[in-house]
Homo-oligomer: A and B are copies of this chain.
Amino acid sequence: MKYSSKLIADAVAEFTKLPGIGEKTALRLVLHLLKQDEEKVSYFGTAVMRMRSEIKFCKTCHNVADHDQCEICANPQRDHSTVCLVESLRDVIAIENTNIFRGVYHVLGGVISPIDGVGPDKLNIESLENRVKEGTVKEVIMALSPTIEGDTTIFYVSKKLVPQGVKVTTIARGISFGGELEYADEMTLARSIATRQPYENVLVKGGQ
């Protein structure tokens, strides 16, 4: 597309670099911003740039943080003996929004995937081992996606942690809430039967 202003063209080009934003959407966003007060647009640009330049990563769990330690690790009311292992900070946000988990996290930064050149040394596994070695961690919950890479990572990490005497669990895999049995794949269905739960457990634990 042709724009009669290079400033507009530049802003549109920057927006189209974002995922899922094509040129028409980018133009709509730019024209929207053009209509706003200069101050508001300045807030927008500054918030985005500050986010990238001032962000820190928690020294304990590698989650994003405004200081050296993230809000979750710094909170004494959280259960520091239960660590939930997740792939990325997106998963931390997802789990936090369930309001059910009161422990702390450990962000791996990815999963083992030889095809993408991601070996165990590129992930935050060593720091997890060190956390466990300190002795306060009693349980590590593996909250990784149930993919080949996720399962490989769970296998690798648990091999490292189990000898240290820590309890290793994985999140339950089964039929989604509201999902229909008919449309569930065989793997999921088979696993949900194999790992069936006493009904009382569901009642008690579901309401935690």
Binding site for B on A (CB under 8 A): 1-8, 10-11, 13-15, 17-21, 25, 27-34, 36, 38, 40-55, 63-66, 70-72, 88-90, 92-93, 96-97
Contacts and interface: CB of A to CB of B under 8 A. Distances in A.
Contacts of A2: 93, 96-97
Given A1-B93, A5-B65, A70-B5, A52 B34 contact: yes
Contacts of A96: 2, 4
In the complex, the 7 A-B pairs of residues with the closest C-beta atoms, listed nearest first: A45-B45, A45-B49, A41-B52, A11-B51, A14-B47, A5-B64, A7-B51
Contacts of A41: 48-49, 51-53
A36 B20 contact: no
Q: Could you say how many copies of this chain the assembly holds? A: 2
A179 to B, nearest CB: 20
A42 B44 CA distance: 12
A96 B66 CA distance: 46
Contacts of A72: 4
Contact of A34 (B14, B44, B55, B71): B55
A1 B97 contact: yes
Given A38-B52, A52-B41, A19 B7 contact: no
Contacts of A71: 4-5
